[in-house]
Structures are given as structure tokens and as C-alpha cells.
Structure 1
Amino acid sequence: MRGLLILAVAVIPAVAQNPVVHLTNATHPASREFQVGDRFEILITGAANQSISVRTTMRGRTDWGPIIGWTNTSGRWSTSGQFEKGDFGDWSEVWTVGGKVANPALHFSVGAPCLKGGQGFAASTGVNLVISCETADGRQTFGTASDSEPFRTPDGRVVRGRVRSNMTADQYHAEILQYLITSRASDVRSGRHGDEAGDLIMKMIGPNALNEDETRNVLSIIRAAFERPEPIPQTARDPSRTLLLLRNLADSADRESVKQQIVETVAYVLAR
């Protein structure tokens, strides 16, 4: 996604109390699908003067982005751009506004702009897809890139590809934690003990909020990290970073049952 333009729209007052995100096809407004070459617009509505960040997933890689903007005094923020050839494939975006997850989570695909009735072929191996077809600019080939190649986020940042050969210990464990947080894993042991787990989770997610299921997964990870005192390093026995993480989760939670689980997890950590 290149040539992005970030705007603060101050004309119409926001009507939603909870943050809401809208993704539209500016090239074909009536379509909910996207193709390479289409322009897109993202509009967020929520409370005024709130920070905005986005978690972007493409090709199995997730970028937990920093704060990229703020809603204006009317509670609105928008960005626009154009999908390029390197954006071909499946996307997921979870926007955070003022520490709250904006609804809905966005899941969409950027397809090939093949001409109707034109000749073409498609081949797939696992999650990888290659399409060759006739387009308005002649015959072109589109393919999903590997996770070792970089991709561009909605706010224009370039996320480097995954390089497994020289991953640090923190990067390795962050990938494990990310999987445990965003999936339904039965074993939530992350390999980090005591305050190490909470500290690494905070560093990984940054200002991005979690949904209810992800929050519950984090609580399970924290409990597992403090379950046995023996493997906890001396430097990780002070749970200050974990308690800060739990406070942030409580601030972003809406459901009372989730808030209660957070309170119980705080008590569990303090009792270890």
C-alpha cells in the first residue's frame, strides 16, 4: 500500500460511542471486493482525541503497529491508499482506538484484476496462490509472496520479512506468545516464566487492544508463567510489568465477566 494520505475529517460529528471502522472500495464503491489497482478508504469513528493503532496480518505475519494518529474533535480519522501488486492476497486488520478494539475486525482479500472472459490459469500450493491472466494492462502474473518478503501496512510502514536464521530469543518467544494469544492452543506454556511473559507480551502488542478471547488467553499464559516459582529467574519475580499489563487489559475490557477474570488473575499473581 503506497501513496497513503492520512486525513482528519472534521465535518460530520461521530455518532458511535464504541469505535467503529469502515473499509470501502473507493474505485468501485458498490463492491465489497478488492483488486490490485483499487483505491481504498478507511474511516474510523469513536470518541474525540483518541489514539489509533492497527494490527496487520498478511501471509501469516503479524505487525503490532505503533500509534499512527488520533481522532479529531469530532471523533473521526481516515486514511486512503491504493492496492498494488505486492498487496495481492489475504489481509486481516484489527484497529485500536483509545485502547478499545474497533468493530469489526477486517478480513479481506486483494485479488487479480483479470478481464472477464479472458484466458488465464491459477495454481496453488498450500497457502500460496499464483494467477496469470489478461488484464487491462496486458497479461500479468500475480502471486502471494513468502513470509520472508516485506509487506506494507495501511499506514505505509514497511514490515520486514521473517528471517528465521538469526532470530533473537525474544523474537522467537514473541512468535510463540503471539500464536498462544491469537489461537486456541491447549498448552499455554510460553517458555517465559514470571514477569518475563507479561513483559514480552506488553512489548509485542504495544498500544494495540485485544478481543475477549485473546484477553482470556493472555490470562491463561500469565497464570502458567507464575504457576511454579522454581523456574522463575530472580529478575522476573517482581510482577510489576505483568500487573501493568493486567491493568491495561482491564481498561480495554467491556464485559464484566472478563474484568472479574482479570481481578482474579491479579490476585493469583500477587499470591505467588
Structure 2
Amino acid sequence: MRKACVSGLFYPADGFQLKRMLEGLFSGIKQNGCLAVICPHAGYVYSGKTAAFAIGSLEKQKTWVILGPNHHGLGHSFALSLEEWETPLGRVTIDRELAKKLQLDFLAEDKLAHLQEHSIEVILPFLQYRFSGFKFLPISILNVDYSEELLEKCIKLGEFLTRFEVGLIASSDFSHYLPAEEAEKADKMAVKAILELDPKKFFRVLEENQISVCGYGPIACLLAWAKKLGLKAEVLHHSNSGEVTGDFGSVVTYWAIGFKKT
């Protein structure tokens, strides 16, 4: 059992309080046919509304693959978790049958990679509140550079996942600790490559402009998946931490981007 490691920090540890918070965050948000999304993973007080726009746009799926960055540098670089996960809203079952079918030489089970990592965990309560009866498969990706090797693995994983009927969620925040105006300019360059479904351009734009999108590996996987399926991308919502703190001199930015059939 993988127990929650950031409940009480990123979101309420009490199930009743968490449900009340999610009810407020989802208020007025309607499903609009998305099969996949990019979703932020900060504390709910900062990125919760944007995350609700992301998860709220999704169609119901039997299995969700959640791709998240490994912030701590622990464990395998492309790591599966095969144990049940628990949040204050209950337990979520792993799709072990799907895991068995992901025969990629760079993908391995590794509990350590997920043990202290928040990027996948914080998305689960949104899914639990919105949907019932689903399974999921968490994949942690260690981003250490913008190497051709990492990009190739991300593309390979994304394209391989098109063989299965799953929904995808790429967990990522965008610019970190920049003045709001600078962050917006940087984000627009990254988002342009995302809307073009171009993982190679996305990597290049981030590296050349030093844009601090923490989940660039997961996003590249999703872009390869969406491109192969012929989907289109659209911006659903975006925000920054300054809107909560009042400090626009140093913000973290959050984007909800959906992917749907054309």
C-alpha cells in the first residue's frame, strides 16, 4: 500500500474537508470531451482551480495513466508503481494487466521513485471526486536534462500507450519563481509547442529559453500519444501563485491543457 505522503500539506488530510474543498474547486466546471490533460500539481490553494478545470474536462475512462516528474531524484528513471494507493478519499487500484503489457526495456517497477513524490498523488483526489470505479497506472519520470535519449524514451512510451484504451494525465507546473510578466512570456513559448503536438520542439524551446517546466518528460509522452492518435490540444485554464499570495514578483504558473478528438 502506497500511503499519501503530502496529505495535510498540499491538500486536507481529512476526507470530509477534502471533499468540501474539491466541491468548491469543481463548481461550475463541465466535462468537454477531453481524453487527456496536462494538470498542475501544487498545493490546492494555489493550483486547485486550474487542476479542477483539467480533470473536470475529462471523459470517464476505465484506466488512467498518470505521468509525473520525479522531483527527488530517487529510484529508477522510468518507474511504475504496482501497489494500491491510498488518499483521504480511499484506495485506488492499480491496473496490473496494463502494467504487464508495457514491455519496454527502460520501464521498471520501483517503489522508491514514488515514495516521497507528490506530483502524481495530488491528482488522485481530483479523479476520485470526479469519477468512480477506475483503475490507474502511475509512471514517474526522472528529468535530468533535455537529452535526445530522454526524448526518445518519452516518445516511445507515449506512442506505445496508444495501443491501449486509457486516458492520460501529464502532471506538471510551468514557470517557477519568475516575475509574472516574464513567466507569462516564457509559458507562451512552451504552450505554443504543446498546441502543435511537437515533443521535439517542446524540448528544444524549454532548453534554449531555460523555461522551468518541471514535468517536461511526462508532457513529451502525452504529446507523442496525442499526435499519434490525431488529437487536438486546447488551453482550458491558466493561473499563477501570485493570484493567491499577492506577490507577482516571484510566481509559479499553472496550466490546464486538454486533448480531444478533432
Higher RCO (Cα < 8 Å, 6 or more apart): 2
TM-score by length of 1: 0.28
Q: Decide which structure has greater strand share.
A: 1
Q: Decide which structure has greater helix share.
A: 2
Larger Rg: 1
TM-score by length of 2: 0.29
